[in-house]
Amino acid sequence: MDQSSILKVFFKKAGEVGFYKVSYEDLAQELLLEISYLRSRFPENIDFLKALLKSLDKIISNPEDLSGLTLKESLFECFMLRFEALEPYKNGLKSLISEMEKTLFHDEKKILFLKDISPLLLKNMEIILEQVGVDSRFPKKFALLIVFSLTLRIWIYEEERDLSQTLQTLDRFLDLLICKYENF
């Protein structure tokens, strides 16, 4: 079974029972795989998220020709492609984000989680910057990660099919980013 199928089932289950409550036994049973196989590929639940983040740019369709777009429009397009690619995982991500919001500063494992995930998220931001033709030095990657994180939180909880809240939020944060960093 391919990794994409495993991740979709894991995140579906995470949306049903909670990110940290998905059992390997239930997952293995649904996927018709051995528990030992799952544990060898994904020793902890957080490894499913790591695998998703590492594969994100493989599952995202490349943006159309961005040359005729402004920087803001190009960034907007790249972000929306990511949200589109994350749609099958949305409920599981919502479970994780909800859990993180409740417990981040009360559980040292959750703080270590950020240490493990941050480089993967920054790599995703670096790829976006490269796609739009912007130097991908750390301050720019970090600023873009803030925009992505704040918009992700809106997207995760949005119920509207037209994503109007997500679109407005992303538009506003990209305006702020480009205004703040004139030479972004």
Q: What is the pLDDT of residue 112?
A: 79
**Residues contacting residue 90 through CB under 8 Å, at least 6 positions apart:** 11, 15, 155, 156
| Residue 162's pLDDT band (cuts 50, 70, 90) | very high
Domain residues of the chain, as ranges?
45-180
Given the candidates 2.60.40, 1.10.3470, 3.30.450, 1.10.357, the CATH classification of the domain at 45-180 is 1.10.357
Rounded average pLDDT over 144-166: 95
Contact criterion met (CB below 8 Å) for 94 and 88 = no
Contact criterion met (CB below 8 Å) for 184 and 134 = yes
CA 61 to chain centre: 15
Rounded average pLDDT over 66-92: 95
Token pair of 144 as six digits: 């873009």
Q: Give yes or no for residue 111 having a pLDDT over 90.
A: no
Distance between CA 83 and CA 132 in Å, rounded?
17
DSSP class per residue in 87-136: GGGHHHHHHHHHHHHHHGGG-HHHHHHHHHHHHHHHHHHHHHHHHTT---
Rounded average pLDDT over 105-112: 74
**Percent share of the chain, pLDDT over 70:** 99
Mean pLDDT of the chain: 92
Q: Give yes or no for residue 106 having a pLDDT over 90.
A: no
Q: What is the pLDDT of residue 57?
A: 81
Which pLDDT tens digit goes with each residue over 14-58?
999 999 999 999 999 999 999 999 999 999 999 999 999 999 988
**What is the four-CA torsion angle of 70, 172, 64, 143, rounded to 10 degrees?**
90
